[in-house]
Amino acid sequence: MSEFDLRSTTTRILECAKCDGIVAGEATGVRVELRCGYCGFADVRELGGTRPAADAESAYRGRDRAGERRPLRVALDVVPAGVPKRAVAADYRREWVLARKKVASASEDERMDAEYILLFLGAGLSGLHWNRHEHLPARAILETLLESVTVPAYRALALARLSRLAVACGSIELADKWLEACPRGFRIPEVTSEIRASEALLASAHGDAKGVLRATGEQDTVDEFVGVTRPLALALRVHAHEKLGERDIAIKVWNQAARRARGVGTIAAVYDLAPETRRRATHRGVLAILALVCLLGGLVSMFRDHDPADGWGGLPIVLLAIGALGALLVKRL
């Protein structure tokens, strides 16, 4: 295909199994025929990501080949062993391609750990593209991840992110479809946080501000979100209050969010959330810095090389007055 329709509810977009280029095809039931425009490789894949999924096993556990329970690794904010730290996109791409091959050839004993590494790399690499508004490669990576993993929790994470990406691409219908296919019933904080964040973003896309607050919680309940979804949940809360006309609450939540979670401003910009509150916060920050500079400048001017018998002069008084006025305006913003 020469064009990739990111809004279609029937088009599947993946990476080529031979050359890793981006391929797309129209799904027919649970199958899709793909032909790579780069290497010409023809492929037919069985799909599992568009069918409504049954509720998942709710325990925070996996099983090894012997049936013994062991912890299921799902954290996406902690770099696992074997993955380069402070990696750039090229590093993640190289590791992602290798991880796909390892999953394809993994034994039953190795499969769960191999899938976790693939999940981490796929989430990280798609996120790097997403933050640069490169939605097509982000989509291909997430769909390839979805079709490569078998652990229900990992599939849920991929589906939740595909739903959010569809919102970012302007396809609410597709976002609904991905989220409907997401398995439920987990008692895994990282997974439930991803699903709830996707539900909140979808509610926002539908214009349901109160639905956003129901999904994210109000006041301190947003702390139920863990890992990478907490900044998004906080940004969505601010956006909802802004849409409800609750400007003072929105800026209060924003200021609290800036202290409680890193990256709130970045994630709000990526999803275009709370534009008015972001402007207010920026203006407030600039004004606060200017006020502080004027106050300090006024104090320094008053006492540096100064003879009290000469009087204070006009400049220190002006600077102090401007600083005090700026501080007052900061409180009012």
Per-residue pLDDT tens over the stretch 166-191: 999 999 999 999 999 998 888 899 99
Distance of alpha carbon 288 from alpha carbon 274, whole angstroms: 21
- Torsion sign over Cα 29, 149, 174, 6: negative
Q: What is the pLDDT of residues 259-302, one digit of tens each?
A: 777 788 888 988 899 999 988 877 666 656 665 665 666 666 66
pLDDT score, position 148: 93
Whether the Cβ atoms of residue 175 and residue 167 lie closer than 8 Å to each other: yes
Query: At 80, phi and psi to the nearest 5?
Result: -75, 160
SS3 169: coil
pLDDT score, position 287: 55
117-151 burial string, b = 16+ CB within 10 Å, else e?
Answer: bbbbbbbbbbbbbbeeeebebbbbbbbbbbbbbeb
Report the chain's mean pLDDT, rounded to a whole number. 81
pLDDT score, position 57: 46
Query: At 31, phi and psi to the nearest 5?
Result: -125, 155
pLDDT score, position 222: 60
Distance of alpha carbon 23 from alpha carbon 184, whole angstroms: 29
**331, pLDDT greater than 60:** no
181-210 average pLDDT score: 93
Q: How far is CA 41 from the centre of its chain?
A: 33
Q: What is the pLDDT of residues 49-91, one digit of tens each?
A: 555 454 444 433 444 444 455 678 898 888 888 888 877 888 8
pLDDT top residue among 328 and 17: 17
pLDDT score, position 138: 96
pLDDT score, position 194: 94
pLDDT score, position 232: 92
DSSP state of 181: T
231-254 average pLDDT score: 92
pLDDT score, position 1: 39
31-57 average pLDDT score: 73
One-letter amino acid at 299 equals L
| Strands, E assignment, the chain | 11-15, 22-28, 31-35, 42-46, 61-63, 69-71
pLDDT score, position 220: 56
The residues that bridge with 22 in the sheet, in sequence order, are 15
Spatial CB neighbours of 193, under 8 Å, sequence gap ≥ 6:
224, 225, 226, 227, 229, 230, 233
**319, pLDDT greater than 80:** no
**E strand or H helix at 163:** helix 152-168
Whether the Cβ atoms of residue 130 and residue 138 lie closer than 8 Å to each other: yes
DSSP state of 49: S
Q: Residue for token digits 């079709």?
A: 147
Share of the chain above pLDDT 90, in %: 44
Distance of alpha carbon 63 from alpha carbon 298, whole angstroms: 68
195-209, 223-237, 303-317: which has the minimum mean pLDDT?
303-317
